[in-house]
Structure 1
Amino acid sequence: MIWLFLSLLALLIFAGIKYVLFIKNRDYLHIWKKDFYRSYTDPRKQIIAHGLLASSGHNTQPWKFVFKDDKNAFDMFIDRSHLTSEVDPDRRQLLISQGTFIKNMGIASEVLGYELEISYDINDEWNIYQRLATITIKKTNSKRNKLYDYLFNPDTHRGLYKAMTLSDEEKKRIKALAISYDLEMMIIEEAEDVKYIGNLALEGAFIEARNQDVMNETCRLFKNNETSKKINPYGFSLEGQGLPAFMIWFIQILMRFFPSFNHPDQTKKAFLNGTHQAISHTHTYIMIKSNELDPKSLIKVGMLYQELILNLHDLGLVIQPLSQGIEVYDDMKPVYEKIHKAYGNDQHILMLARLGYPEKPFNHSMRFKPEQVIKEVSS
């Protein structure tokens, strides 16, 4: 009996040590610390560290940068290795994700005391294989920006929302954000509309789950162990599902020894259950609409969406994008047409999201560090 007790004790001690190391070594989350940028002396890296906290389609973080000899400038490119070609064949989400980064970068540079000049390379012949922009920084006086502190909040909240609606003042503030971008934001709270959009989102989720190519792409984005998260900290992981750290650690052990836990059928089931639960606890939707689909317009949509996220945090609200229904691949066309017929008004619906007051806080999702997305070369 004593040997059994000692064996169990040793196992518990070993498990405890492994868990402590798991918590300590999750360096793909360290970037969320407010003083993390101080790890770098190069102001370009400090600014990029803030940009990397931005939201991106499927958390792909499709950003990369080239540093040349000029210490006050860097080039911005799209990371084509992070394309999601099945669900984003026309690259809308990809370009919107460039705008979210640029917005975060602009807010951070103000607070750090730098002025940004962004020179876009986009013209009629531009494509995603070419440089997106050259960014030049110039030292200036630091400015206060009340949105800065919210850069460090989780960008997406997939949890449950309270049965509360927005005040008139909150709706007015939110809608006003779109004016300077020449875009439109539509807030939807009527019960009949909320139910209709929720049903369309569920229909889109079922379409996505039945499309094997889409599900294979989703599975490729899922990181189910610490090694994959440290090497390629983009896409999906258990951190993004709102689970406590101990559960993440335990489930990853199960997936390691029982691969069936990570079977595509399990992925489909979890995806559909999560979507249904989220929709059933949603009381407000928001859309961002544009008259244009050119690259610069899509980047503006991303900038507005990121500014929306930060303003919602200031109001105590959170948001989760629902890409199903506004994606443009063939299988999703029926849902795409229904939602545009009901709410498009001859415009393109480029973002659809649920928003509300969270029932509880949510986890941060994994992120790259600056050195993982920067290439330094000599001219």
Structure 2
Amino acid sequence: MKKRGVKKVMIIIFSSIAALILLASTALFLAGGLFQPQKYLQPWDKSYAKQHKDLRVQLAAYGLLAANGHNMQPWIIKLDKNDPMVFYLFADPSRMSDKADPYARQMMATQGTFLDYVEVAGKEIGYPVKISLFPDGSYDEQHLAQSMNTKPIAKVTLKKANPQSSPLFNAIYVPDTNRERYKLNKLTGQQISTLESLGTNEGLTTKIYQDTANVQRLGDFAIKGAIIESGVPRVMKEADDIFRANEYQKNKYRYGFSFEGQGTSGFQMYFMQGLITIFPGLNSDKAAADLMIKSTKTSIKYTPAYAMISTQDNSRSSQVMSGMLYSRLTLTAHTLGLAVQPVSQALEEYPEMNKLYRSIHKDYAPNGQTIQMLVRIGKPTKNVPQSMRRDVMDLVSK
């Protein structure tokens, strides 16, 4: 009888523990937004752009999927009221990341990634575009934000033509950044030739490095850059301020960082979101810095090659064109079965990064070029989830 009593008590205890675990897990998943609709992923639906009758808005909806700094999506579209085949792209000064990108260089590249997606989509749907950069002249650098409000990055003119199908168009729907481990296989000669041929005009160059010495050297730059950035509180706070901890926040803001950007998806994502929502202290500055350094070291360890995009000068037009080139590099890499991830912290231009910035330019841009992007590239070991995107109509100026 005593044994039966003990057994019954043990069953009750274990049942209670199991119930508590189930209750706690359910609370975490609910806090993480398990049953919330993912409105922030709607622009990735292949029917999304076609829902808009205005061809200019359609093209903007494709551009919306482009890579962009801090996932800020800093684009404003102004539709020409007198010509239904013209729109203007403006940079949104309210979305600058001025701590990590004080001179808005990365922001200009982000304008270029958008324009390249628009160009690819235009050919696909039978409305190729002509892109004229800074049609009203370049910015007044002394009044940069005001200049962004008044001077367009580009005038985009549509023209009717026969659709030209391209695998680049399908690659638009592949997430632009993959932070996971890559296979250590070297790129083929054909892959290198294809990628390097993308930057052969307008003073832009693309160079692939996969020899042991350069892979080691560039990996060191990437890790040192991450360590420096993680130790600059104002830069880390800027990133922390746009971290979306759960589905509620992602649906509300639809831009910034989230667990998807770290490659987390499925139930694990909801679990992590629930933990951060209920225990926000888990996402402390130190925890975020440690995670950044750890993930960077892991990524660099599993990187077979790097791509570097450089420009002959550092003009605003060159910055925008470097973004167009990076976008084309990304799309082309996807068609070749490759993935990319920018690891450009060493190219950031705040004081703490200055020494490393000068060092990488001394080693890899001795002729006065500006390195605009440093990108790890290789065959991915896993797919990654799509990230938040705003509604395209939020980009269209009223």
Superposed pair shares fold, TM > 0.5: yes
Answer whether contact 2:209 2:306 (CA < 8 A) is retained: yes
Which of these residues, 94, 101, 123, is aligned with residue 110 of structure 1? 123
Answer whether contact 2:28 2:271 (CA < 8 A) is retained: no
Change (3 A) 1:125 1:27: closer
Matched to 1:49, the amino acid is A
Matched to 1:375, the amino acid is S
Which of these residues, 137, 151, 160, is aligned with residue 123 of structure 1? 137
Q: Does 1:236 align with 2:257?
A: yes
Distance 1:373 1:222 in 2: 21
Shift of 1:375: 2.3
Answer whether contact 2:28 2:274 (CA < 8 A) is retained: no
Which has the larger displacement, 239-248 or 65-74?
Answer: 65-74
Shift of 1:5: 11
Match in the other structure for 2:144:
none
Match in the other structure for 1:86:
99
Residue 310 of structure 2 aligns to a residue whose secondary structure is strand
Answer whether contact 1:55 1:97 (CA < 8 A) is retained: yes
**Count of aligned pairs:** 376
Q: Does 1:212 align with 2:212?
A: no
Q: Does 1:316 align with 2:337?
A: yes
Q: Deviations over 1:194-240 (max 9, x none)?
A: 11211121111111111111111111121112232223222211111
Answer whether contact 1:181 1:304 (CA < 8 A) is retained: no
Match in the other structure for 1:72:
85
Which has the larger displacement, 218-227 or 3-12?
Answer: 3-12
CA-based RMSD = 2.6
Q: Deviations over 1:82-116 (max 9, x none)?
A: 11111211111010111100000011111111132
Answer whether contact 2:68 2:113 (CA < 8 A) is retained: yes
Change (3 A) 1:13 1:87: closer
Answer whether contact 2:33 2:270 (CA < 8 A) is retained: no
Structure 2 counterparts to residues 1-379 of structure 1, below 5 A: 22=34, 25-67=37-79, 69-70=81-82, 71-119=84-132, 120-126=134-140, 127-132=147-152, 133-346=154-367, 347-376=369-398
Shift of 1:269: 1.3
Distance 2:356 2:345 in 1: 8
Runs of 4+ residues deviating >6 angstroms:
3-10, 12-17
Distance 1:320 1:340 in 2: 20
Answer whether contact 1:60 1:82 (CA < 8 A) is retained: yes
Matched to 2:169, the amino acid is Y
Change (3 A) 1:304 1:68: closer
Change (3 A) 1:125 1:268: closer
> What is the TM-score with the length of structure 1 in the denominator?
0.92
User: Taking every aligned residue pair, what percent have the same amino acid on both sides?
Assistant: 33
> What is the TM-score with the length of structure 2 in the denominator?
0.87
Residue 183 of structure 2 aligns to a residue whose secondary structure is coil
Shift of 1:297: 1.0
Shift of 1:38: 2.2
Distance 2:33 2:276 in 1: 19
Answer whether contact 1:122 1:295 (CA < 8 A) is retained: no
Residue 155 of structure 2 aligns to a residue whose secondary structure is strand
Matched to 2:242, the amino acid is L
Larger Rg: 2
Distance 2:394 2:139 in 1: 29
| Structure 1 gap segments, 5+ residues each | none
Change (3 A) 1:11 1:292: same
Answer whether contact 1:157 1:320 (CA < 8 A) is retained: yes
Distance 1:211 1:5 in 2: 43
Matched to 2:358, the amino acid is E
Distance 1:354 1:34 in 2: 28
Shift of 1:75: 2.5
Residue 292 of structure 1 aligns to a residue whose secondary structure is coil
Distance 1:20 1:342 in 2: 45
Which has the larger displacement, 222-231 or 309-318?
Answer: 222-231
Which has the larger displacement, 329-338 or 16-25?
Answer: 16-25
Distance 2:151 2:162 in 1: 29
Shift of 1:21: 7.2
Change (3 A) 1:374 1:5: same
Shift of 1:19: 9.5
Matched to 2:390, the amino acid is F
Shift of 1:65: 1.4
